[in-house]
Chains A and B, each alone.
Chain A
Amino acid sequence: DQQVKQNSPSLSVQEGRISILNCDYTNSMFDYFLWYKKYPAEGPTFLISISSIKDKNEDGRFTVFLNKSAKHLSLHIVPSQPGDSAVYFCAARALIQGAQKLVFGQGTRLTINP
Chain B
Amino acid sequence: DAGVIQSPRHEVTEMGQEVTLRCKPISGHDYLFWYRQTMMRGLELLIYFNNNVPIDDSGMPEDRFSAKMPNASFSTLKIQPSEPRDSAVYFCASSIWDRGSPLHFGNGTRLTVT
CA distance A42 to B3 in the complex (A): 12
Contact A89 B102, beta carbon cutoff 8 Å = no
CA distance A102 to B56 in the complex (A): 12
Q: Map CB proximity to A onto B81-95 as digits: 1 under 8 Å, 0 otherwise.
A: 000000000010100
Q: Which of A18-75 contact B (CB under 8 A)?
A: 31-32, 34, 36, 41-46, 49, 51
Question: Chain B nearest CB: distance from A95 CB in Å?
Answer: 7
Contact size range, B: 20 to 34
B70 part of interface (Cβ distance < 8 Å) = no
Q: Which residues of A contact B102 (CB under 8 A)?
A: 34, 36, 46, 49
CA distance A104 to B44 in the complex (A): 7
One of B55, B91, B106 near A99 (C-beta < 8 A): B55
Can you name 21 A-B pairs with beta carbons within 8 Å? A34-B102, A41-B107, A42-B108, A43-B93, A43-B106, A43-B107, A43-B108, A45-B105, A46-B102, A46-B104, A89-B43, A99-B56, A100-B48, A100-B55, A100-B56, A101-B56, A102-B103, A104-B35, A105-B42, A106-B42, A107-B43
